[in-house]
Amino acid sequence: MAKSIKVFAPATVANVACGFDVLGFAVDAPGDVITMQLTDKPGTVITSISGDGGRLPKAAEKNTAGVAVNAFLKQLNITQGVEITIEKNLPLGSGMGSSAASSAAAVVAINELLGKPLSREALVPFAMEAERIACGAAHADNVAPAIMGGFVLIRSYAPLDLIRIPSPDNLYCVIVTPNIELRTEDARKVLKQEITMKDAIQQWGNLAGLIAGLMQKDYALIGRSLQDVIVEPMRALLIPGFEEVKIAALESGVLGCSISGSGPSIFALATSNQIAENAGAAMKVALNKIGLEGTIYVSKINDEGARVIEQF
């Protein structure tokens, strides 16, 4: 068994237009990297964090990676000590599953170091505990795909029921992150607690269509289904230029475009790397026009989830 390990966990897109709170997928890059080693001195210590501009807490019980590892160790009654180094590559509060990537990498790392006592799926609840610290709710739509890869449906939270949804080989994602920050907690506040039956019917019709489209590799159906009539209209108001960016993406030939997670990042799915690149450039131009900068990330859907980069 390795004594030290380096694990990468990717950015994730939660909600995926019509799948609010129940669907997410992983991309190839960017992502966070956790280096972890077991020590003889009990307790979880975060030795360094880079890339966060000093904003993340180093106290293990306040840091998503630390919380996730501690939940794992407690459940398995393990008293060994752990040292963690975090390289943050995901911008904070961007809607790309930044907090989830760190906790996902952390639970995969500790599981590997201890000889894989648990399956990938069984690691998700520990990372969900970290989400509770990070954004006030133990949601799974970022951590599950970050750990398991691909598209993951959270059919139910109680009991937790995670379903891996197969997706077509040629599915590319572009994410554009405007240089503004939106806290998940704040993005949750704008959500209505009641919705109309009419909107709900349209939403679940689209989600069912998206699941069928992904599984049948029917790109046109995926495109027709990528519509959010409930959450996007509420949250788009918090994202300056959202409509313009979405129009730019759709005019570039993507299958569909919506808010990534709770925003402000905006994602689109496309059938080729080239279309995704073109869309990204057009989306950035749309942002620039209203005086905002943005970062473009283009990548394939990541079927693997978090992965071991190095162990020794």
Residues 6+ apart with CB under 8 A from 124: 140, 143, 144, 147, 148, 160, 162
Span interacting with a second copy, options 47-55, 97-105, 156-164, 253-261, rule CB under 8 A: 156-164
Residues of 265-290 as b/e, b for ≥16 C-beta within 10 angstroms?
bbbbbbbeeebbbbbbbbbbebbeee
For residue 166, give Cα distances in angstroms to 58, 146, 174, 256, 259.
Answer: 37, 15, 19, 18, 22
Q: Quick one: 81 or 205, whose CB is closer to a second copy? A: 205
User: Using the rule CB under 8 A, is 204 a contact of a second copy?
Assistant: yes
Using the rule CB under 8 A, give the single segment among 6-14, 110-118, 167-175, 187-195 that binds a second copy.
187-195
Instruction: Determine, following the binding rule CB under 8 A, whether residue 74 of this chain makes contact with a second copy.
Output: no
Q: Which of 7, 17, 19, 276 binds a second copy (CB under 8 A)?
A: 19
Q: Pick from 7, 23, 222, 269: which binds a second copy (CB under 8 A)?
A: 23
Does residue 131 have an active-site annotation? Answer: yes
Of these, 41, 54, 55, 197, which contacts a second copy (CB under 8 A)?
Answer: 197
For the chain, the residue count is: 312
Q: Which is nearer to a second copy, 97 or 223 (CB)?
A: 223
181 binds a second copy (CB under 8 A): no
Which lies closer to a second copy via its Cβ, residue 179 or residue 196?
196
Catalytically annotated residue among 87, 184, 232, 271? 184
Q: How far is the CB of 206 from a second copy (least distance, A)?
A: 6
Using alpha carbons only, give the angle 19, 8, 54 rounded to the nearest 5 degrees.
95
Q: Annotated catalytic, 184?
A: yes
Q: Quote the least distance from Cβ 187 to a second copy, whole Å.
A: 14
CA–CA separation, 238 vs 215, rounded Å? 33
Question: Which of 216-220's residues contact partners 24+ apart within 8 Å by CB, and which partners?
Answer: 217/168, 217/169, 219/168, 219/171, 219/255, 219/271
**By CB under 8 A, is residue 277 in contact with a second copy?**
no
Among 75, 156, 170, 274, binds a second copy (CB under 8 A): 156
Q: Are 145 and 305 in contact (CB under 8 A)?
A: yes
Task: Reduce the DSSP state of residue 257 to 3 states and report it.
Answer: strand
97, 261 Cβ separation under 8 angstroms: yes
**Closer residue to a second copy (CB): 1 or 212:** 212
Q: Are strands 307-311 and 4-14 parallel, antiparallel or unpaired?
A: antiparallel
Is residue 224 part of the contact set for a second copy (CB under 8 A)?
A: yes
DSSP label at residue 130: H
Choose, by CB under 8 A, the member of 163, 180, 292, 308 that binds a second copy.
Answer: 163
Determine the size of the site formed for a second copy (CB under 8 A).
40
Which residues contribute to the site for a second copy (CB under 8 A)? Answer: 18-23, 153-156, 161, 163, 165, 191-198, 200-212, 215-216, 221, 224-225, 230
Catalytic residues: 131, 184
